[in-house]
């Protein structure tokens, strides 16, 4: 990774803008990938970034905790100086900084006070979540490999021999009962950091599957799998986030739960925890049913919901009309339509990009159907014996099922024909009404709401924020490895999902931090870069005390590019660490 300057002349002055670039190998070629656009690295921006860091932490960074005093003078045998115990430092230190930025260390200590155990459960909870953020893996892997390779043992004052899989599993058990209290804390803390408004809440459902039979978990059921693993049992997760994608809460449902049946439970649960005032619920069309709409209207709750594609046919005339469309942006138009009874507003939307995508999909399935029908007709004409009409019709049914998006375009007829050996003749023709509707409806979709005072573009913009909920699931699945679930017991599964939820809160905090610092929105890139910053023991043999060493735990100096990243975020790494607890300074001389 390195810095690349770009020179520009503006208003008669020369300005130098900086990009942070890294080399990425793609096969036999190496290309340069921009990690972040840094702009002009001036003193004012550095001061702003430092203030931002203090806002995130809410307290001074505790670098001095990790740097106990050293002897003023020592005689060292230069030829015997060595370095030992290199460990990953940067990523786990950033994870610990985020944990403290959300004040989860304080809240967990309140909820899980130290008892007779050697290591507090609050500390073990931090280990679980930071591990999930930095290198998602099993509790066994954390205990046997990952933790020993990191500098968390100095940061938390927790020696590796105290971290074992049994203690990590028990930490899951201790953490889960405080789910609602921690969710409430996160809502308050994230609101303080980012001045959030909870006027629009985005709600979506996904699933995560199990490896194993999960016989001891009554929630583990087979159902519609978003992961294309219908062979595995699963649970469903309903997540609620803000319009920025910051987490508010979640619930776990049985694996065979249908999305539309979760609405009343989730809306009621979230409002019971966080209040009723000023909420607008945004959901995709999988949540749309007459029962849900009636319930939302009856209870006075605001909503914006995607309507099923079939509902578009009711607005065929409005779709065909060219007047009253509002341009939201190039290639996207919306039209506002009131319902007949005046209780709802419908928003017709049509997108040029979506039209091209749907047309390409229709063309692909049409080609598949026509090619298969042509081959089938050829086989029938060449058959030398009587064919079964029922078998042929089942083959046609399977063909149309596999290519359902264009199945309605064809009117297929299997007729008896005594003039051929097969005794059957296959013919088909195009349903022109299907083509007419496809031309009119491709790229179009429908929204419905009971909010009368928002215009069409504003309602469309609010609905598109649902991509934040979809992105939340994508991050948890790809970056935080919420799937597959290896735990078998119900409580352990729910605790695993809770840890992933907390890691996602850290992820979004880091993303917002980098955005406000002008570093884009790629937390994984930053974590991977920070991971290359190590700490190590510098061993200095004392010349006047044979057999004694001065051992200094130091942090490797960041590269110039890493220093720029840290500077933009207002972060200053400690220069030295020591294997100490928070209130104890160890002896350096061993």
CA distance 468 to 203: 10
Name the pTM for this structure.
Answer: 0.84
Position 224 scores a pLDDT of 93
Helix (H) / strand (E) element for 372: namely helix 352-382
CA distance 110 to 469: 30
Give the count of beta carbons closer than 10 Å to the beta carbon of residue 586: 15
Residue 542 DSSP code = B
Give the count of beta carbons closer than 10 Å to the beta carbon of residue 343: 11
* CA dist list (Å): 581 to 133, 158, 329, 490: 23, 8, 57, 35
Helix (H) / strand (E) element for 500: namely helix 490-516
CA atoms within 13 Å, Cβ hemisphere of 214: 25
Position 38 scores a pLDDT of 61
Which tokens in the block code for residue 495? 């605790």
Asked if residue 224 is part of any domain, the answer here is: no
Position 581 scores a pLDDT of 34
What sign does the dihedral 485-504-58-92 (CA atoms) show? Answer: positive
Position 71 scores a pLDDT of 64
Asked if residue 330 is part of any domain, the answer here is: no
Position 64 scores a pLDDT of 42
Mean pLDDT of the chain: 86
Helix (H) / strand (E) element for 17: namely strand 13-26
Closest by Cα among 528, 508, 507, 573 to 35: 528
Angle in degrees, CA 90, 93, 98, rounded to 5: 125
* CA dist list (Å): 216 to 229, 302, 490, 492, 494: 20, 40, 7, 11, 13
Is residue 29 packed enough to be buried (19+ CB in 10 Å), middle (13-18) or exposed (0-12)? exposed
Residue 454 DSSP code = S
Position 115 scores a pLDDT of 84
CA distance 357 to 363: 10
CA distance 73 to 225: 66
Which tokens in the block code for residue 576? 């030295």
* CA dist list (Å): 174 to 127, 453, 562: 14, 47, 38
Buried b (16+ CB within 10 A) or exposed e, 51-83: ebbeebbeeebeeebbbbeeeeeeeeeeeeeee
CA distance 254 to 237: 9
Position 407 scores a pLDDT of 94
Q: Strand 534-541 vs strand 549-555: parallel, antiparallel, or unpaired?
A: antiparallel
Asked if residue 378 is part of any domain, the answer here is: yes
| pLDDT (tens place) for every residue of the chain, 590 residues total | 555 667 777 777 776 666 667 777 777 777 777 766 666 555 565 565 566 666 665 544 444 444 556 666 778 888 888 888 899 999 999 999 999 999 999 999 999 998 888 899 999 999 999 999 999 999 999 999 999 999 999 889 899 999 999 999 999 999 999 999 999 999 999 988 888 888 889 999 999 999 989 998 999 999 999 999 999 999 999 999 998 899 999 999 999 999 999 999 999 999 888 876 668 999 998 898 989 999 999 888 899 999 998 899 999 999 999 888 999 999 999 999 988 788 899 999 999 999 999 999 999 999 999 999 999 999 999 998 999 999 999 999 999 999 999 999 999 999 998 888 989 999 999 999 999 999 999 999 999 999 988 888 999 999 999 989 999 999 999 999 999 999 999 999 999 999 999 999 999 999 988 888 777 778 888 898 899 999 998 888 888 888 888 888 889 889 887 887 888 787 888 888 764 333 332 333 33
Q: Which residue has the tokens 């001891």?
A: 216
Beta-bridge partners for 254: 235
Asked if residue 415 is part of any domain, the answer here is: yes
Domain that holds residue 426: 354-441
Asked if residue 169 is part of any domain, the answer here is: no
Asked if residue 552 is part of any domain, the answer here is: no
Position 1 scores a pLDDT of 55
Do the beta carbons of residue 400 and residue 369 sit within 8 Å?
yes
CA 182 to chain centre: 19
Asked if residue 379 is part of any domain, the answer here is: yes
Asked if residue 139 is part of any domain, the answer here is: no
CA distance 156 to 583: 11
Strands (E), 27-65: 29-39
Within the chain, what is the greatest distance between any pair of CA atoms?
Answer: 111
For 462-517, how does the pLDDT look when each residue is reduced to its tens digit (9 = 90+)? 999 998 999 999 999 999 999 999 999 999 999 999 999 999 999 999 998 888 87
Q: How many folded domains does the chain comprise?
A: 1
């Amino acid at each position: 990774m390195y810095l690349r300057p770009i020179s520009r002349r503006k208003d008669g002055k020369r300005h130098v803008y900086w990009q942070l670039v890294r080399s990425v190998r793609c096969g036999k070629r190496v290309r340069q990938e921009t990690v972040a656009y840094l702009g002009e690295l001036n003193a004012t921006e550095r001061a702003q970034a430092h203030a931002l860091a203090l806002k995130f932490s809410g307290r001074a960074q505790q670098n001095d905790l990790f740097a106990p005093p050293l002897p003023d003078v020592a005689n060292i045998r230069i030829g015997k100086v060595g370095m030992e115990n290199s460990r990953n430092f940067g990523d786990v230190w950033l994870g610990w900084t985020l944990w403290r930025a959300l004040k989860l260390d304080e809240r967990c200590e309140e909820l899980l006070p130290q008892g007779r155990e050697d290591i507090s459960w609050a500390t073990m909870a931090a280990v679980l979540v930071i591990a999930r953020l930095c290198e998602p893996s099993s509790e066994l892997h954390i205990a046997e490999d990952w933790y020993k390779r990191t500098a968390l043992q100095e940061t938390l004052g927790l020696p590796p021999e105290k971290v074992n899989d049994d203690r990590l599993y028990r930490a899951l058990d201790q953490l889960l009962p405080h789910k609602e209290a921690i969710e409430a804390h996160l809502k308050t803390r994230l609101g303080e950091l980012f001045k959030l408004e909870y006027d629009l809440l985005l709600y979506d459902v996904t699933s995560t599957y199990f490896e194993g039979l999960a016989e001891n978990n009554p929630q583990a059921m087979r159902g519609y799998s978003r992961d294309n693993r219908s062979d595995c049992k699963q649970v469903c997760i309903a997540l609620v986030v803000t319009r920025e994608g910051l987490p508010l809460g979640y619930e776990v449902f049985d694996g065979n739960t249908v999305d539309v049946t979760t609405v009343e439970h989730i809306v009621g649960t979230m409002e019971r925890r966080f209040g009723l005032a000023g909420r607008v619920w945004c959901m995709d069309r999988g949540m749309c049913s007459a029962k849900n709409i009636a319930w939302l209207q009856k209870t006075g709750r605001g909503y914006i919901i995607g309507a099923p594609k079939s509902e578009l046919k009711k607005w065929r005339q409005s779709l065909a009309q060219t007047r009253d469309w509002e341009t939201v942006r190039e290639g996207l138009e919306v039209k506002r339509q009131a319902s007949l009874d005046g209780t709802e507003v419908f928003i017709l939307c049509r997108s040029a990009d979506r039209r091209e995508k749907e047309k390409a999909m229709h063309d692909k399935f049409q080609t598949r159907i026509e090619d298969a029908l042509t081959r089938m007709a050829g086989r029938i004409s060449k058959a030398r014996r009587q064919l079964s009409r029922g078998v042929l019709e089942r083959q046609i049914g399977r063909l149309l099922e596999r290519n359902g998006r264009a199945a309605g375009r064809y009117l297929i007829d299997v007729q008896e024909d005594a003039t051929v050996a097969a005794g059957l003749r296959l013919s088909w023709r195009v349903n022109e009404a299907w083509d007419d509707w496809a031309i009119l409806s491709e790229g179009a979709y429908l929204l419905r709401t009971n909010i009368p005072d928002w215009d069409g573009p504003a309602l469309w913009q609010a609905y598109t924020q649902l991509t934040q909920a979809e992105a939340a699931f994508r991050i948890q699945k790809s970056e935080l490895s919420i799937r597959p679930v290896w735990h078998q017991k119900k409580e352990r599964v729910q605790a695993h999902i809770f840890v992933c939820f907390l890691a996602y809160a850290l992820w979004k905090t880091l993303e917002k931090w980098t955005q406000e610092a002008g570093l884009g929105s790629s937390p994984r890139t930053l974590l991977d870069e920070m991971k290359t910053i190590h700490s190590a023991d510098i061993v200095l043999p004392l010349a006047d005390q044979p057999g004694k060493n001065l051992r200094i735990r130091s942090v490797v100096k960041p590269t110039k590019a890493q220093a720029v990243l840290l500077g933009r975020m207002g972060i200053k790494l400690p220069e030295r660490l020591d294997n100490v607890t928070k209130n104890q300074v160890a002896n350096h001389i061993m």
